Structure 1
Amino acid sequence: MRLRALLGGIEITMANRLLVSFSAFAVLAIGVSATAFQAGSQRTPRVSYEAPPELQHTDLPQWPYTPTPPKGTAVVAPDDGEAHHLPGSTKAFTTKEIDGASAVDWFPDSHPKAPAPVIDGKPGVYRACGTCHLINGYGKSDTENLNGMPVAYMQQQLEDMKGDLRHASVVNMGVITMIPVAKALPADDAKEALEYFHSIGPAKWVRVVETDTVPKTMPGPHRLTAVDPSGAKEPIGNRIIELPENFDRTMLRDPTSGFVAYVPVGSIKKGEVLVKTGAGGRTMACVACHGADLHGGGDTIPPLAGRSPSATGRQLYDFKTGARHGKNSSMMQPVVAKLTDEDIVNISAYLASLAQ
C-alpha cells in the first residue's frame, strides 16, 4: 500500500505486512493545527441526514466529535493487494478487504458465528455492521459499543434514526453515517444483527488514565483521533482524549486492540458524585434508571459502564441540544439540562472507568 502525501510531492511506500505505520498515517493531517482541530473543520454534509438547522451547533466542545482530516490533505494510492496479518491470527486480509463493505474476521473462534448482516452486509444496500462496530461489537471511539446492549433498546435507536428523530448536534458527525444504514436495513436483518451483538459478553475495552498533560493530537483517518507526529505535549484542559492503544491494529479492524482515554485529574471522582447522587440537584442520579452497577435497567435502558467516553459525551450533548429526540429521550432531558461541559467530561470519565 502506498500513501502519497500532497506535501511537496513526497511519496511514502509501505511494504510492512501489518499496516502502514502510525507515523505514515500521521501524514494525513500534517499541517492541521491543534487550533483547527479543536475548532472542528468538517466537510460539506449530506444535509438530508443532518439535524434540523435549529438543532445544529458550532459551539460545542470538539473532543466527542472527531472530524475527518481536511479534504485535499492527502490521497491514498490504490491498494497494492498485499496481505496484512495480526499476531495470533491465521487470517490475512488486504487493505481493500479491510476497508471494504464487508467486515473482516481475524479471530472467528472468539465469538459466536456472525450472521450475514454483521459480516457481509448487503451489497448496494448497506455495509456490514462489523465494518464500523467491529465483528464483536466492541466498536471504536467514533462509533458505539454494541456488545451486550439490550435488543429492544438498539431496535428503538434504529427506529429513531429511520424516523429522523436521532441526529448529531454537530454537522457531519456522530450518527451521520448510521442514519442511511438504519433507513436501508431490513427488519429481519436488523433482528439478526442486534441479537448477535446482544449475545457478546463484556470486555475491558477502554483504559482510563487521569493526567494533566496529553499528546498533541489531530484528526486521523476513519474519524479516529491520532497523535501528532511532532511528539509535542499539551495541557488536557477540560476534555477527554481517546486514542487507540495501537493505531495500526485499530486501522486493521483488530477486535482485540482497545483504546486509552486520557481524562483530567480528579474527573473520575467528580463524575462518581454526579452519577451516584445527582450532586445536589445538578442532575439526576444515573443509577436510578441504569442500575446500581450501571449495567442497564431492563430491555429499554442501556448499560453505561465501561463504554467509550467519546460516545457517552456525544450522546449527552445530543440529548441536551435536542438533536436526539426519539422515543424515551424525554426522560433524559431533565438529566442533561443543567450539565456543564465539565460535568459531561466528569460523567463520561467515570462511566468509562468502570467494568462493563
Structure 2
Amino acid sequence: MRLGAALSALEWQAIVPADGGRVILVRSTSACAAAAERRYGARKTSVPKRNVDLMISLSKDITDAEVQAAAAYFSAMKPRSNIRVVETATVPKTFVAGWFLAALKTGEKEPIGQRIIEVPEDLEQFEHRDPRSQFNAYAPIGSVAKGAALVNTGGAGKTLQCAICHGQDLKGLGGVPSIAGRSPSYVVRQLYDIQNGARAGTATQLMKATVANLNIDDMLSIAAYLASRTP
C-alpha cells in the first residue's frame, strides 16, 4: 500500500507523552491531534522565549468532546487566501507588535537576507481581529521556484514529495492537514520544531525523514511556495 493511501485510512493517531507515560490514541484530525499533543507534552517549541504556555494550559482544561466540537466547527469553514507572497531583495523595517511583526509607518527598508517577513497589510484591521485581514509575506528572490522543486519533486532526494501525504493539491488527505496557502511563519516553525524534536506523535514521526536534511533556507523556500498556493 502506498504511504498516502495508508495515511488516508488512518482514523487514530498515537500520542507519546513526553514523560514516557502510556500512549494516547486520538482521532486523526489535525486540530484534535494538535490539542492532544499539547495536553500530553508532545508539542512544545524549540524557539527560545516563545510562550506556548497559554495554548498548553487551554488544551488541558478542555474536554475531548469540546476538542471534537471545535475541530468539526473549524473543519467546516471554507479556506480562503489571505497571504500575498512577494519576492524581493528589500523589505519594510518592522517592529514587534504583540506576537507578530508589523511594518514601520516611516516606510524605511532593509535587506531581506535569509528571512521571510510576514506582516499585515492593515495593522489596525488585523489588531481588531477582522477575519478579512490580508498579509504580505516577503521572501528572498527565487524562493518560490526553489520551494516548488523541493515540494513537488523532493529536490533530488533531499526531502520527500509533500503530495504523498498531503494530497496532490496539498489540501489535505484523510487526517493529514492541508498545507496550501498556510502562513509561511507557521510552516517554518513547524518544520523547525519537528527537526529539532520539539514535536512528537505519529504524524510527526512520519515527518522526520522529510525534514532531516533540510536547512533553514530550504524551509523558507518551502514555506514561500506553500503560502503562494490557493488553500
**TM superposition score category, shorter chain reference:** 0.7 to 0.9
1:177 offset after TM fit, Å?
A: 2.7
Residue equivalent to 1:280:
156
CA contact (8 A) 1:239 1:345 kept: yes
Cα distance per residue 1:112-166 (max 9 Å; x no partner): xxxxxxxxxxxxxxxxxxxxxxxxxxxxxxxxxxxxxx97221111111111000
Residue equivalent to 1:253:
129
Residue equivalent to 2:67:
190
Structure 1: segments with no counterpart, 5+ residues: 1-50, 53-149
Residue equivalent to 1:240:
116
Residue equivalent to 2:40:
163
Cα distance per residue 1:210-242 (max 9 Å; x no partner): 111100112112x11012344321111111000
Cα distance per residue 1:171-228 (max 9 Å; x no partner): 332644311111111222222211110000020111111111100112112x110123
Q: Choose which of 81, 84, 91 in structure 2 pairs with 1:214.
A: 91
Give the residue type in structure 2 aligned to 1:196.
Y
CA-based RMSD of the aligned residues comes to 1.8
Residue equivalent to 1:317:
192
1:168 offset after TM fit, Å?
A: 0.7
- C-alpha distance in 1 between matches for 2:61 and 2:185: 26
CA gap 1:174/1:207 in 2 versus in 1, 3 angstroms: farther
- C-alpha distance in 2 between matches for 1:207 and 1:160: 31
User: What is the SS of the residue equivalent to 2:118?
Assistant: strand
CA gap 1:199/1:151 in 2 versus in 1, 3 angstroms: farther
CA contact (8 A) 1:217 1:227 kept: yes
Q: Choose which of 180, 196, 211 in structure 2 pairs with 1:305.
A: 180
- Structure of higher CA gyration radius: 1
Give the residue type in structure 2 aligned to 1:258.
Q
Residue equivalent to 1:351:
226
Structure 1 runs (4+) greater than 6 angstroms displaced: none
1:327 offset after TM fit, Å?
A: 2.8
Q: How many residues align?
A: 207
- C-alpha distance in 2 between matches for 1:188 and 1:294: 28
CA contact (8 A) 1:287 1:293 kept: yes
- C-alpha distance in 1 between matches for 2:30 and 2:125: 30
Give the residue type in structure 2 aligned to 1:204.
S
User: What is the SS of the residue equivalent to 1:282?
Assistant: coil
Cα distance per residue 1:62-117 (max 9 Å; x no partner): xxxxxxxxxxxxxxxxxxxxxxxxxxxxxxxxxxxxxxxxxxxxxxxxxxxxxxxx
- C-alpha distance in 1 between matches for 2:199 and 2:105: 36
TM-score, with length taken from structure 1: 0.56
CA contact (8 A) 2:29 2:177 kept: no
Larger RCO: 1 or 2 (CA < 8 Å, sep 6+): 2
CA contact (8 A) 1:239 1:264 kept: yes
Residue equivalent to 1:181:
58
User: What is the SS of the residue equivalent to 2:87?
Assistant: strand
- C-alpha distance in 2 between matches for 1:272 and 1:235: 24
* Greater percentage in helix: 2
- C-alpha distance in 2 between matches for 1:162 and 1:244: 31
Give the residue type in structure 2 aligned to 1:173.
R
Matched-pair identity in %: 43
Give the residue type in structure 2 aligned to 1:256.
R
- C-alpha distance in 2 between matches for 1:180 and 1:333: 27
Q: Choose which of 130, 144, 165 in structure 2 pairs with 1:268.
A: 144
CA contact (8 A) 1:206 1:260 kept: yes
Asked whether 1:292 is paired with 2:136, we answer no
Structure 2: segments with no counterpart, 5+ residues: 1-17, 20-26
- C-alpha distance in 1 between matches for 2:202 and 2:51: 19
